[in-house]
Structure 1
Amino acid sequence: MRNVVHRPAQPVAGGESGWPTPCIQKAHERSEGFGLVTSVRPDYDVLPASELALKVEQNRILCAHAMPVMETLREQIVNTESMVVLTDSQGLILHSIGDDDFLARAEKVALRPGAQWSEDRQGTNAIGTALAERSPTVVHGDQHFLAANHFLTCSSVPILDPYGDLIGVLDVTGDYRSYHQHTMALAKMSVQMIENHLFASTFRDTLQIAFHSRPEFLGTLMEGIAAFTGDGRFLSANRSAQFQLGMPLAALRAHTLSSLFGMTSAELVDRLRASRDSILSLNLHNGAVVCASITFRRALLGSGGWQTEARRETSTQGQPCPGQAARNSLRMLRLEQLDTGDPQVTAVIAKVRKVIGKDIPLLITGETGTGKELLAQAIHNESPRRSGPFVAVNCASIPETLIESELFGYEEGAFTGARRKGAVGKIVQAHGGTLFLDEIGDMPYPLQVRLLRVLQERVVNPLGSTKTIPVDIAIVCATHRDLREMIAQNRFREDLYYRLNGLIVKLPPLRERKDLAVVIGKMLEREALTGGDGQCLTVAPEVMALFEHCMWPGNFRQLGNLLRTAAAMVDEDGEIRCDHLPDDFFDDLRKGELQAQSGGAAATATANGAGAEPPSSSTLPPPSSSSSQQGTRLQDVAAQAIAATLAQYGGNVSAAARALGVSRATLYRKMPHLAPAKRDEQD
C-alpha cells in the first residue's frame, strides 16, 4: 500500500508551505522500496553494551573531537525538549546527550546509543536521509516515514573527515512542536567546528595556510585551511578553503602550493621570516587577494630538507593587511571621485544623489569587478548616516553553512575558539549605518525569508537566542546576476526583490568606459604605486593603447592586479612598458582578437548560406572599417607595441618576443617587413 504523505503540523525550515521537498519525497520512495510500512512498529534492536563499546572504539577519533562540541551545542539548546546525537557512517548512534525528560521519550523509539537509524531500518528520518543524500537534512513531524516518529523534528548534518569521506552525522532532535528555525544553523556550525578540529589533528605536522579575504576572520570558523607537504604537494583543505579556492577536494588534489598560491614552500617560509607583519598578503590562483597565517611544524621544506620549529602566526598586531588598509582608505571616498568622465557613470551618480538619505533601498547591478562596493561606500559617506558604520557582507564569499551566523550572529556558546561569548552579526553591527549586501543573488533561498523579515520589522534574532534586537539600517545591495531570471527559476524571492529595488542602477564594464586613462591614473595614485626611486608611475602610450583594446573580463580587479604586477617590474624611469606586463594580459588580447575574427567569419558564413564553410584566414579579405574596425585598430596597436619593444631591445627578436610573451614566429608574422637576413643578425 502506497504511503500518503501528510502536511506537517508546522512549516518546515526553508519553505512556507510545509509540503515535503523533493529530497523528502525521494526518501519516502526509498523507504517503500525497503518494504517498510508506515504503521508498523519499527525495528528497535539495540546493540549490547560490549558491541557498542567496540563501535565507539572504532570511531574513537570522531568521538574525541565531536563530544566537546556536542556539549557546547547542548548548552545552546538546553530546556528546549531536545537532544544532540552522534552517529557513525552507517547511522549507528554512538553518543547522545540532552534534556532528561526528552531523553526518556526518545528511549521509547530507540533514539539512543546502540540503535540503528539508517533509512532501511527507520525509513525517512534526518539521520538516515542525510547519510543517503550526503547533505544537511531536516525531517519535521509527519514527514517521517514511520508513524511512531511523527512526534520528532530532526536536523542532521553529515560529518566529513579531512579527506572528504563521510564518517558520521551530528543530529539535533526535539519535539516537533518546539522546533526552532535556528537549529540547523547551529548544527552546521558545530559540524564545521568538528571537521576543523579533525583537520588540525590530522595535518599537525604539515605546512598549513589559514586564509581569508578579511584578516578579522583568521582564527575563526570562516578561515580556509589548506595543508601541504614540505615540498608543496597538496594534501587537503577544509570546506571554507574549498569554497574560497572555487574547487572541490577532488579537483584540488591535482594542484600544488605553487599552482594555488603562486610560490614554493621555501619561498613562502622565506617571505614569512622576512616580513615584519605576522599576516601575509597572498594571491590565489583565481586572482583573489587574501590575508594568511602560516603554520609549519617539523615539515621538510624545500630541497635542502631543513627542519623548522613550530610556528603559528595568528596575531593581527602591527601593520594591517593591504586589503584592510585599502578598506580604511575607502572611508573618505566621495561620489565626485568616482565621476571621472564616463557618461554612464555620471548618469548613475546623478540618480543616486537624488535618493541619498530618503530611506530608499538601492540595488547596484553590473559585472563582477565593476566597482559596486566603491559606489556603495561613497553613497554611505555622503548620506546622513556617514558617522555610523558601513558594514559589507559578500554573500558569495561565505560558505552557506556560515552565512546565517555571519548575518544574524549567535548567542554565547563558543562556536569558535576566538569567540567564546558568541558573536554580533553583521546586521546588528550596521545599526545606525549602512549594510551593504554584495552578491545578494548568491544568498541561500531559506535565508532570504529571514532577511525579508528583518527589512520589514527591523529586528534581528541571533542564533540560539529568543531575544529580538531592534536595528536601524540603510540597505544597499549589489549583484552581477539577473534577479528577474532567478525569480522565474524560483531561486530568488519575488517579495524580497521588490523590497530591495527602490532604485536600480547599473555600472558599465571597464571595456565600455570612456575614461580609462583617467581611471588608471587615479588607481596608480590611490594604490601609491611608485617606481624604484619613489616617483609616480606612468604608462607608455603603446601600453595605454593596448589597455584600451583589452576586453578586461575581470574589470577593475584584473586591472588593479595588472598594475601592481607592473609596478613591481618597472625600471628606474617609472614608465610601464610592454615588457612589464604579465603574459596572461597578452593572452586576453589574443582571445579578444580571435573572438572578433570569429565573429566576422560567422557573419560571412551566414551571408553565404547556412551550410557554407567559413573562409580560411589566408583567404579573408582585408577587414573593412564598417565590419571590423575594432579588429583593425587592434592589429595596428599590436604592430605599434611590437615595433616599440623591438626598438627597446635593439632589434633583438628573441628578447622582444620574451618581453611580449609571444613566440618569435608571431613577431615575424606580425612584422613581415623584417628581412630574413636581418632576423638572423638580430637573433
Structure 2
Amino acid sequence: MLNETLSASMWKRFVQEGVLDSTRMNKRISESWIRCKQAVVNPYSGTGRSVLSGKAFDSQKQKSRQWLELTLPHVRKLTSFIEDTGMLALLIDPEGYVLSMNGQSPVLQRAREINFVEGVRWTEEEVGTNAIGTALYAGEPVMVIGTEHYSVASHHWSCSASPIRDEQGQLLGIVDLSCPIERTHPYMLAIVSTLAYTVEQEWKRRRQQDELELIRTAWEQLETVFPGVIVNERQQIVLANKAVREKTAPSSGRWTYPDFLREYGYAERQRTPVYSRQHGGLLGYAIMLSEPSRRSLLPASFSAQPIRFGGETGVSSVFRQVLQQIERISRRSINVFLKGESGTGKELVARAIHDNSPCNNGPFIAVNCGAIPKELIESELFGYAEGAFTGARRHGYKGKLVQANGGTLFLDEIGEIPPQMQVALLRVLQERKVTPIGSSAEIPVQLRIISATHRDMSQMVKEGTFREDLFYRLHVYPLSIPPLRERKEDIPHLVRYYCQKNNLDVPMFPELIDQFMHYDWPGNVRELFNVLERLSVMTEEEIPLLLPELFGGDFGLLAATAATTEWDGRSSSREESWSYREQLEKQSIVQALHKTNGSASAAAKLLGIPRSTFYRKLQKYRL
C-alpha cells in the first residue's frame, strides 16, 4: 500500500509540476512518462481512441495471420489459469493493435469501460505508459502496475507484456497479460516472457521446415537452361539454379531479391507462387529470369563502385569524391565528423565507413542524440551497474559505448548533447575507458566514433555551447556530404534505385525527370524519396495537377507548365477535338488569365512560360 501511495504522489507531482524522481522508479517507466509528456498525451484520460472494426480489423489481422495461428494454441493452454486469476490474455501486432483478447466476461466488461477491446490501438501515443505500448517502444518485457500507468484510465489495472521476435530479430508482435490491480500476480511477467520465448522457438522451427518444403517444391521448376531463383516470402534468395550460379559471384549471407536484380541486371520473366501442403500458407516463389529491357528512361545501376555502399552512388563527381574519401578513411580507425544538411544520408555514409573498415565484423551502433531526453542520455551512453538506482535492471545495462566496442559508434546530432555529458564523453575519448553509472570498474573500449550534425559546430564552439577540446577530438577528419541540389545528375539514378528497391510503379515521363532536375530539393534525398512514394499512388492524369502541392508550392505552377507539354511524347494537331491533357492546359491558361485580370504578359509570367509561347496557346485554344 505504501508503494502504491508513493507512486500515486509521484505521478501527481510529475503530471502537475513536471518533477520526476527517476531514482525511485523503474527506468523504463520514467523514460516512458517523459516521452508521454513530450508527446502531450492526456494523463487524465487514457481510454482507447483508435479502434478498427469490420473489414479494416480483418485486414489488420491478416497481416499477422501466421504468428497468430502459431501463438493462439499456446494462449489457449493458459485458459484455466487466466480464468482462475481473473486475467485477460492479449496478442498485439507491431503497430499496437489488439488482435486477440481472451478472458472471462466480468473482466472483459471492465476492460470495455476504458475501451480496451479487440481492434483498439494501445500504444504510448494513444493511451500513455502501459505494458503493451512501452514494450513496443523499448523492445523488451515490461510490467506496469497501477499508477505507473501515465493515464488515469489504467490506474486500476496491472499488465505485463513481452515482444515476440522472428529468427532475424524482427518484431512479430506482443503477448500481454492484463488484470484489475487487485488480481495482480507475481509471475505475470515471467509467464509472458516464457510464452514469448516458446513461440519464438516454434516460429524458428516452422521457418526451417517451410524453407525445406519451399526448396523441395520449387526446385523442379528451376532445373532448366534458363536462369532462375527460389525466393522466400521475405524476398530473400534461398537458392539459385546452375544458370545463375555460373554468372554470379559467390556471396556471404543472403541476397535480397531486389538487390540481386539490381546488381546483376536480371529481369523477372515468370513468377510461380509456392504454397505449403502442411498449413496452406505462402512459402515463396519460383522465379524464372531473363535479361532486362534496356528501353527504360532511367539509367542502369552504376556498378563500378570501389567500395561497399548501402545505397545508390550515382555518377556525380561530388559524390564520387565522397566515396573516395570513405575508401581512404575506412582503412584507419580515426574519428570522423560528418557535415551535411538534413536528409543527405549521413547515417548511410557512416555505415559505409564501418562496412569498409577492418572492424566491419564488429557492431555498428547508431544513436540520435537529439531524440534522447537529456535526463536519460548518460545512462543510455554509459550504461549502469546492477543496483545503481531503484528500478535498475537486475544485471545492469550495457551502454551504447560498450555495445559498440570493437566496432563503430555513430553519434548523430552530436550538437544536442548537454554540457555535462560533453565532459564525460571527452574523458572516454582520451582514456578509452567507460565507467557505468553506479560502478567504480572501468571498462576498456576500442571503437571508432563517427559524429554528425546539420548545425554549425564552429559557431557553437565560439558561443560556448560546445566544448572546444571535445570538438577537436571528434573533428579529426571532417567529411562534407553534398546536398542533392549539388549532385542533380544523380537524381535519375536515385529514382531508379528507390523505385526498384521498393517496387514502386511511378510513370517516369521525360518531362517529369526534367522537372526533378530543376527543383532545388531543400529536403534532399529524403524529400525525393517521399515524393516518389506519393507519385506511386497517383494516376498519370493527376500528376500534372498535383505537382505544385507535391513540392510544397516551391515549383510554382507546375500543373500549368507540365500541361504545356505532351507528356506521352505525341504532338497534337487537332484544332477542335482536344486531348485530356490539352483540356488541362486550356484550363490552366484560363485560370491564370482570371487571376491576372486578363493580362496576357502577367499570366505568362505566372505560368512560367515565354510570352510568345503563351500567345500561341491563346490562338490554339481561341481565347
**Any conservation in 2 of the 1:428–1:471 contact (CA below 8 Å)?**
yes
Partner of 1:160: 14
Q: Secondary structure at the match of 2:438?
A: coil
Residue deviations 1:417-473, cap 9 Å, x none? 996644321111111111111111122221111111111111112223332222111
1:529 aligned to 2:506?
no
Tell me the TM-score normalized by structure 2.
0.52
In the alignment, the residues of structure 1 paired with residue 562 and residue 585 of structure 2 have an alpha-carbon distance, to the nearest angstrom, of 17
Partner of 2:400: 426
In the alignment, the residues of structure 2 paired with residue 422 and residue 437 of structure 1 have an alpha-carbon distance, to the nearest angstrom, of 23
In the alignment, the residues of structure 2 paired with residue 415 and residue 200 of structure 1 have an alpha-carbon distance, to the nearest angstrom, of 28
Residue deviations 1:616-670, cap 9 Å, x none? xxxxxxxxxxxxxxxxxxx8x9624543469873433399769xx9999599863
Partner of 2:514: 545
1:370 aligned to 2:344?
yes
- Letter in structure 2 aligned against 1:562: V
**Any conservation in 2 of the 1:65–1:194 contact (CA below 8 Å)?**
no
1:560 aligned to 2:526?
no
- Letter in structure 2 aligned against 1:449: V
- Letter in structure 1 aligned against 2:582: G
2:7 aligns with one of 64, 74, 84: 64
> What is the CA distance between 1:476 and its match in structure 2?
1.1
**Any conservation in 2 of the 1:566–1:581 contact (CA below 8 Å)?**
no
Residue deviations 1:387-434, cap 9 Å, x none? 111111111222222222221223335999996644321111111111
Partner of 2:48: 206
In the alignment, the residues of structure 1 paired with residue 393 and residue 507 of structure 2 have an alpha-carbon distance, to the nearest angstrom, of 46
2:165 aligns with one of 297, 317, 324: 317
After TM superposition, the structure 1 stretch with the greater mean CA deviation from structure 2, 412-421 or 423-432, is: 412-421
Partner of 1:639: 561
Match runs of 1:142-541 below 5 Å: 159-161=13-15, 165-166=16-17, 170=21, 191-192=30-31, 202-207=44-49, 272-273=60-61, 275-276=63-64, 292-294=95-97, 298=112, 308=118, 312=122, 314=136, 315=163, 317=165, 320=170, 334-335=308-309, 339-412=313-386, 421-525=395-499, 527-531=501-505, 537=506, 539-541=508-510
- Letter in structure 2 aligned against 1:653: L
**Any conservation in 2 of the 1:578–1:645 contact (CA below 8 Å)?**
no
Q: Secondary structure at the match of 2:334?
A: coil
Tell me the TM-score normalized by structure 1.
0.48
Q: Secondary structure at the match of 2:344?
A: coil
**Any conservation in 2 of the 1:529–1:564 contact (CA below 8 Å)?**
no
**Any conservation in 1 of the 2:388–2:438 contact (CA below 8 Å)?**
no
Partner of 2:217: none
Q: Secondary structure at the match of 2:359?
A: coil
Residue deviations 1:77-114, cap 9 Å, x none? xxxxxxxxx6x98xxxxxxxxxxxxxxxxxxxxxxxxx
- Letter in structure 2 aligned against 1:401: E
Distance 1:675 1:274, change over 3 A: farther
Residue deviations 1:199-229, cap 9 Å, x none? 7974442237xxxxxxxxxxxxxxxxxxxxx
1:651 aligned to 2:582?
yes
After TM superposition, the structure 1 stretch with the greater mean CA deviation from structure 2, 575-584 or 371-380, is: 575-584
Distance 1:201 1:586, change over 3 A: closer
**Any conservation in 1 of the 2:22–2:30 contact (CA below 8 Å)?**
no
**Any conservation in 1 of the 2:586–2:621 contact (CA below 8 Å)?**
no
**Any conservation in 2 of the 1:361–1:476 contact (CA below 8 Å)?**
yes
- Letter in structure 2 aligned against 1:652: Q
In the alignment, the residues of structure 2 paired with residue 347 and residue 644 of structure 1 have an alpha-carbon distance, to the nearest angstrom, of 38
In the alignment, the residues of structure 2 paired with residue 191 and residue 509 of structure 1 have an alpha-carbon distance, to the nearest angstrom, of 39
In the alignment, the residues of structure 1 paired with residue 533 and residue 466 of structure 2 have an alpha-carbon distance, to the nearest angstrom, of 37
**Any conservation in 2 of the 1:540–1:576 contact (CA below 8 Å)?**
no
Distance 1:309 1:654, change over 3 A: same
> What is the CA distance between 1:580 and its match in structure 2?
7.1
After TM superposition, the structure 1 stretch with the greater mean CA deviation from structure 2, 388-397 or 508-517, is: 508-517
Q: Secondary structure at the match of 2:7?
A: helix
**Any conservation in 2 of the 1:278–1:316 contact (CA below 8 Å)?**
no
- Letter in structure 1 aligned against 2:165: Q
> What is the CA distance between 1:267 and its match in structure 2?
10
In the alignment, the residues of structure 1 paired with residue 408 and residue 463 of structure 2 have an alpha-carbon distance, to the nearest angstrom, of 30
- Letter in structure 1 aligned against 2:48: T
1:587 aligned to 2:553?
yes
Question: Unpaired segments of 5 or more residues in structure 1?
Answer: 1-52, 67-85, 90-158, 173-182, 209-229, 231-263, 280-290, 532-536, 594-634
> What is the CA distance between 1:321 and its match in structure 2?
7.7
> What is the CA distance between 1:509 and its match in structure 2?
0.7
- Letter in structure 2 aligned against 1:639: T
Distance 1:524 1:192, change over 3 A: closer
**Any conservation in 2 of the 1:408–1:461 contact (CA below 8 Å)?**
yes
Q: CA RMSD in A?
A: 5.1
In the alignment, the residues of structure 2 paired with residue 387 and residue 576 of structure 1 have an alpha-carbon distance, to the nearest angstrom, of 48
Distance 1:205 1:523, change over 3 A: same
In the alignment, the residues of structure 2 paired with residue 160 and residue 662 of structure 1 have an alpha-carbon distance, to the nearest angstrom, of 56
In the alignment, the residues of structure 2 paired with residue 417 and residue 316 of structure 1 have an alpha-carbon distance, to the nearest angstrom, of 23
Residue deviations 1:47-75, cap 9 Å, x none? xxxxxx9xx9xxx9873346xxxxxxxxx
**Any conservation in 2 of the 1:389–1:429 contact (CA below 8 Å)?**
yes
Distance 1:391 1:61, change over 3 A: same
In the alignment, the residues of structure 2 paired with residue 415 and residue 662 of structure 1 have an alpha-carbon distance, to the nearest angstrom, of 68
Q: Secondary structure at the match of 2:479?
A: strand
- Letter in structure 2 aligned against 1:543: L
Distance 1:373 1:169, change over 3 A: closer
Distance 1:576 1:640, change over 3 A: closer
**Any conservation in 1 of the 2:366–2:411 contact (CA below 8 Å)?**
yes
Q: Secondary structure at the match of 1:401?
A: coil
In the alignment, the residues of structure 2 paired with residue 562 and residue 586 of structure 1 have an alpha-carbon distance, to the nearest angstrom, of 11
In the alignment, the residues of structure 2 paired with residue 307 and residue 363 of structure 1 have an alpha-carbon distance, to the nearest angstrom, of 49
In the alignment, the residues of structure 2 paired with residue 413 and residue 657 of structure 1 have an alpha-carbon distance, to the nearest angstrom, of 70
- Letter in structure 1 aligned against 2:528: L
